[in-house]
Each structure stands twice: as structure tokens, then as C-alpha cells.
Copies of this chain bind each other. A is one copy, B any other.
């Protein structure tokens, strides 16, 4: 972001129709974005869900991104768009104040002479680029990042400080990798032998498609044989664990603390809520949605929403119910026995079935 756009300019950038409120000035500078409730008179807001409609009447925003059907309710200038949430997302790019480092290699970075760094890329202080690594045009490698031998960082990709890419991995274009993420650590593979563990060296790598985002402290392990593959446009939150030889289909999204075990295949356009687990070697169909903390223990063949777990309650009543969980099978058998015995009883009217 450089200068603040005016209301008119912002509408133009977002492809919105500007319907000025009485007395409003299309040339008013917009200072930022905020929610309907919190916006001040310099800010623009948005109405993307009926849940927030009740806040529209009292907003102090100077403009609201709104759909045609609700534009008439807007007490201030309306920026009418087909999809207000998408327009809001586009607006956040305009107001993003994250620092953009200048191209070039910082004197406190260490770039191996056999690495290739595009002159338009930026390599920050403390970053280490190992031999035969390639850093694409406009890529940004943050402070204290490490890019391993022979790995490739695509054009326009940003590595935040401390992100680490092992040797022999490929990250696509226009990706974002957050701090402390680890791409290409060894998968967890050992052969049991004489009651000890013999390491299976992990000979594969990691391939990450274009426009992927990977959160802080997330790990994408390298393949044992062949690669771990993250599809195009996949979005991965913080503290997510992707094991060796997993494949994540294009445009799937995984919220924080999810984990996918070895060789599992997640389809395209799937969404995994926070804390979801997927066991190894299963397949999840395209378009599947999995709710928070579910453990997927078998393949899912058809798209849908899947869940596991128990509801929470006050600990006292939870304990009473939880202890019964260990009696469930016995309860089911007793229930069946009761049904059998009742079946055997003479009916009230004296007849039998």
C-alpha cells in the first residue's frame, strides 16, 4: 500500500458501483477497512453475511461493500458488488501494510556461489541459500530462512523469517510460507529389527504447487520414495503436519493443527477444519468437508460432511456419561435381550404375534 485511495478510486479498483450517500464526497480518502461495528468515518466496511445485517443501520463507516439487494438499507455510501466478501478480500490487498523488502541480497545473508538468485529476488539478513538452490524472480526470502541444496523457490513466493526448506524440494510460484514452517524434513520411517529401529532414509522430496500458503510451524515431510505433493492453490494453516508421500488435491484447505499420515490422498476442494486427523494410506474424495477434531480412519468415497467425537458438557455429567461408554456394548446386548424377552411375553390382548 502506498497512498490511501479515495472512495471513488477504491470502488473502481474493486469493480464496485459507488452510490454516494447524500452529502458524501467521492474524493474522500479511505484510511482503512473495518467491521460494520468498529469502523470509523474514514473506513470502509462490508456486509457479507445476513448475521451482520443488524449492524448496518448504525455503522459509522464512510462506505460499505454490499450486494444489490441490501444496498437500499445502507445508511452511508454503498459500494455495490456481486460478492461483498470477495470484494472485501480484494480490498485487504490494497490496504496491506506488510513491509515489502527491496530486491537484492542482504550483506548478512549467506548465498552459496553455486546458488542462483534472481536479481529481482530479495534475500534478507541471516538467510542461508545452499548450493544449487534457485530463487525465482521477485521471490522474498525472509531473515534467517534456509533454502537447502538444489531446492527451488518459485517466482513471487514469499518465505517469512525462519522458514526452512530442506534439500531437493520445489516450491511453486506466488506461494506464502510462514515462519518456522519446515518443508522436506524426513518422513517418519523405520524398519523394526531386533527390537530396535533401522532408519529408512527418505529419498523423495516435496513438490508444492503455485499459490499455496503454508502456516507457521507447519511441516511437510519429504517422501520416502517419490515425492510428497501439495496441489495448486492449497491453503494450510499453522501447526499442520503432512507426512511422507501424502498428496493434497488442488484448492483444498486445512485449518490449524490438522495432521495427515503417510501416503494418504486428500482430494481437490476438500476442507479440513481445525485439528482433523487422517490416518495413513486412505483416500478422501474430492469436495469432502471434515468437521473440527474428527479422526478419519477409513477412506471416504463420496463427498459430504464427516465428523467424530463427543459433545462437551460440565465435567460432572460428562464423567457419568463417559463411564457408560465403556459399557456400551454390554448395554446394546442387554437392550436386545429385553426386546427378545418382551417379544416372548403374551400381548396385552392375549394374542401372540
Contacts and interface: CB of A to CB of B under 8 A. Distances in A.
Interface of A: 32-35, 38, 83, 85-86, 88-90, 92-93, 95-99, 106, 108, 110, 124-126, 128, 130-131, 142-144, 146, 148-149, 160-162, 164, 166-168, 176, 178-180, 182, 185-186, 188-191, 193, 195-203, 213, 215-217, 219, 221, 224-226, 233, 235, 237-239, 241, 243, 251, 253, 255-257, 259, 261, 269, 274-275, 277, 279, 291-298, 304-329, 331-332, 334-335, 338-339, 341-342, 344-346, 348
B259 A274 contact: yes
A331 B334 contact: no
B341 A342 contact: yes
A264 to B, nearest CB: 11
6 contacts: A92-B224, A99-B148, A160-B166, A257-B259, A305-B316, A306-B312
A88 B126 CA distance: 39
Given A144-B146, A307-B318, A327-B332, 8 more contacts: A83-B193, A93-B201, A180-B180, A243-B256, A274-B277, A275-B277, A279-B292, A306-B314
Contact of A95 (B188, B201, B312, B313): B201
Chain B CB count within 10 A is highest, among A96, A196, A274, for: A274
B305 A201 contact: no
A314 B289 CA distance: 10
Contact of A306 (B89, B186, B315): B315
A233 B190 CA distance: 11
Contacts of A98: 167, 201
Contacts of A191: 83, 85-86, 88-89
Given A146-B144, A166-B179, A190-B235, A99 B201 contact: no
